[in-house]
Each structure stands twice: as structure tokens, then as C-alpha cells.
A and B are shown apart, each in its own frame.
Chain A
């Protein structure tokens, strides 16, 4: 069991190549804080990412990590969760990885409801590839690939997740690390797919959506806000531009997680069975596993 004193247990020796001032640092720290608060040790969790600046995060943590190809962390994470349901599986990737190239997986994870925590480092730009507009870039945003300003309306992740059936939807801001850590704690505790869209300033390539830009617009949901009320959530989901709500916008704690409904998992964790089999091979057990999974 980890205690609060063990935050450093998650430190890795990898050289960090994020730009100083990048919002990703605060996300990394908040994730470590959340895990220590929940008493989750490195070996009990898996962090899966894609490709992008934010997706370098697993490298910067002493934890099980998996960097997939661009846009694919959600299906890989779902597979890992099915193979080992005892693992806390966390996906962390950028807005391009998550809502652009990985948009299809995002939609289906929302309705599939695997018990996965999905943290999106949403800087409204492609950072790693040096500043192209992304699915969440605001209309008119000028970048190298939108020289006359982005023509499309931005995707509103919270609204899309709600429409697609996600059971836990939150937004937080990298400039408020304490709030962020508290939201991550709740998301990890949620039994099902949880989306946290993090407003993450990219200080190098996004010169519009700065810390100040977000600070002027964000507000925390009122104490008496009821996240289980879908209609209230729908109204907040469309708030963007002038006022941006932060907090748990929607949660449904009644819906069963995907893996709780997979018949093949009723007998327990496949990984645990394999490990047991390795220790104590029994032909019958092997045949039954083969029948279930091959």
C-alpha cells in the first residue's frame, strides 16, 4: 500500500522533453497525486498512451506503460483490462490522438463502458508535430494547416461523450492541479469508462488558448450541481467560448461496466488463470481456457 509520502515512487529517470511551462507537467503531477491518494502502487496500474507530446507521459512515470500507435490507446487499454480486470487501466493522450485519429475508438468506448479512466490532454492543437489545428481548435484558429483560420466548428468532447453514452464525464484545467487531482481520483473510482477532458495550455504552439485565456473563462460547477441529472449535464456540455464549466459534469454510477458483463470473465481474471496454470499445470484447466479464449 502506498502512502502520501510515496509520491516520488512514481518518478522515472527518463529525460523529460516537454517545454517548460507546458500544462502536461501539472497533469503528470496530478495523476501521481491521485494514485498515491487512492493507494494504488505502480504495479497495480497500467498507463496507455498514443502518439503526441502528452502521450510521452508513461515514459515519465515509474509505472506499467504502453505507448500505442497514434489514436489506438483505447482499444489496447480495453484489451488489457479484459485480460487483467484487477489492473487499474488509465489512458492518457492528446486531443488529436483521442478525438481525431482515435475518434472512432472514443465513441465506442463511451457506449461500451469498460472500466478505464481516460485523461485527454486537450491543448486544442497538434503539439508534437509543431502546431497544426486539431478537432477541438476553435473556429478561425490560424495554424500552419489552417492559414486562413480553421473553417470547422470545434468538436465538444463533453457533449459528444454524453450523446455516445459515457457514464462519467468531467473537465478540469491544468492550471488548477488540486482540482485536477480530485477529479482524477473520482474518475478512477468510477466503475466504467470515465472521460476527463483537461484544458492543457501548449505554451509553444497555441498562442491563443493560454493559461490566462482559460482562467478568464473557466468556472467550477456549483456545490449543489447534480451530475446525475442528464438534462443539466446536457446544458453544461454545450457551454464553451465565454464560460467553460469545470468538474464532474455527468455521472451514472448504476450502469454496469463492460467487463462485468462479459461471460468469459465470470470465472475470474484470465491472467490470474494463466498464472495459476503456469504454477500448477492441469490439462483440464488448459483445455477449458482454450475453449473459452481460442
Chain B
């Protein structure tokens, strides 16, 4: 899959209004993946992931932080939510933004994971999956 097809796929899944939004969300999710994927594994994805996106994964650490959890992973993605204008799914609660932002961040992980999985072979996909924090692993599996 080439870069433009990858972005178009994420844009369609997320119904984002522009290509830029798709770039922004894709970058955030892949940067979060780079926090947990040991750098030694990154190059083995280069055959399937567009070079333009490998840049984000190459930010990986030699030894990922063992305490980096699902909450921190979502924190990386949440930064994209208001800038791109998430759909409001508020059903009450004290803070309108917070009420929908987490769901939106989870959905955004899903859009990028779905596209990523369609680009990777099974071995590559497994490599990413096993390094994800527990509940993110579940989101990946469901994508």
C-alpha cells in the first residue's frame, strides 16, 4: 500500500474532512506505537509500511518503557481530537469534551489499526500486536 492510499483509507474509515486530518491522526497513532515497539523490530515493517510513515515508527526506543500502559497510549492519540473536530457523542456528564474524546480516540486508533493491518502480513501484524499495552491490544484485535 502506498502513502496516499493509506491516508485515503484512514480518511474514509474515520470520515475525516481532509487529507490533513488523516495525516494528523495516522501520525499520532503511529507515534504511540513507536513508544512501545522496540526499535530493533521497526525495520522489519518497512516492506509493508509506506516510507513516509516509517518516519514515525523510527522514533522508537531501544528499550520501550515497561510501564507504558494503555492510558499513556490513548494520551498520545487524544491530542488529535479537538483539533480535527470529533463528532459529539455526549450523553451527559460534567465535561462535554471529555465525555466524547476518549471514545473518539479509541475510534481513531481503530481506523489507523484497520488500515495498518490491511497493509501488513500476519507476522508483521503479530509483531505490533504483542508489544501493545493490554487494552490497546484488544482494540487492535477488534480492528
Contact = CB atoms under 8 A, between A and B. Distances in A.
Interface of A: 19-23, 25-26, 29-30, 33, 130, 174-179, 181, 201, 203-204, 207, 210-212, 215
Interface stretch (B4-12, B40-48, B69-77): B69-77
A177, A204, A211, most chain B CB atoms within 10 A:
A211
Nearest to A208: B79
B31 to A, nearest CB: 6
A210 B80 CA distance: 10
17 contacts: A19-B95, A21-B72, A21-B78, A22-B71, A23-B75, A26-B67, A30-B67, A175-B72, A176-B65, A177-B68, A203-B78, A203-B101, A204-B101, A207-B82, A211-B76, A212-B76, A215-B59
B44 to A, nearest CB: 23
Interface of B: 28, 31, 35, 59, 65-69, 71-72, 74-79, 82-83, 95, 97-98, 101-102, 105
A204 B100 CA distance: 11
Given A20-B102, A178-B66, A207 B72 contact: no
Contact of B83 (A130, A207, A211): A207
B94 to A, nearest CB: 9
Contacts of A174: 72
A177 B67 contact: yes
A204 B95 contact: yes
Contacts, number: 78
A134 to B, nearest CB: 19
A29 B79 contact: no
A179 B78 contact: no
A203 B79 contact: yes
A176 B71 CA distance: 13
Contacts of B65: 176-179
Contacts of B69: 25-26, 29, 177
Contact of B79 (A19, A33, A179, A210): A210
Query: Interface on chain B toward A: helix, strand, loop, or mixed SS?
Result: helix
Contact of A212 (B31, B68, B74, B97): B31
Contact of A26 (B71, B77, B102): B71
Contacts of B83: 207
Nearest to A21: B75
A181 B68 CA distance: 12
Nearest to B28: A212
A174 B35 CA distance: 13
B75 A201 contact: yes
Given A20-B102, A29-B67, A212-B28, A204 B76 contact: no
A280 B75 CA distance: 55
B33 to A, nearest CB: 13
Contacts of A204: 78, 95, 97-98, 101
Nearest to B32: A211
Contacts of B67: 26, 29-30, 33, 177-178, 181
A204 to B, nearest CB: 6
Contacts of A178: 65-67
Nearest to B103: A20
Contacts of B102: 19-21
Given A19-B98, A19-B102, A204-B98, A25 B71 contact: yes
B98 A211 contact: no
Considering the complex of A and B, which 10 residue pairs feature the smallest CB-CB distances, nearest first? Answer: A21-B75, A177-B67, A210-B79, A203-B78, A21-B78, A20-B102, A21-B74, A25-B71, A178-B65, A211-B76
Nearest to B83: A207
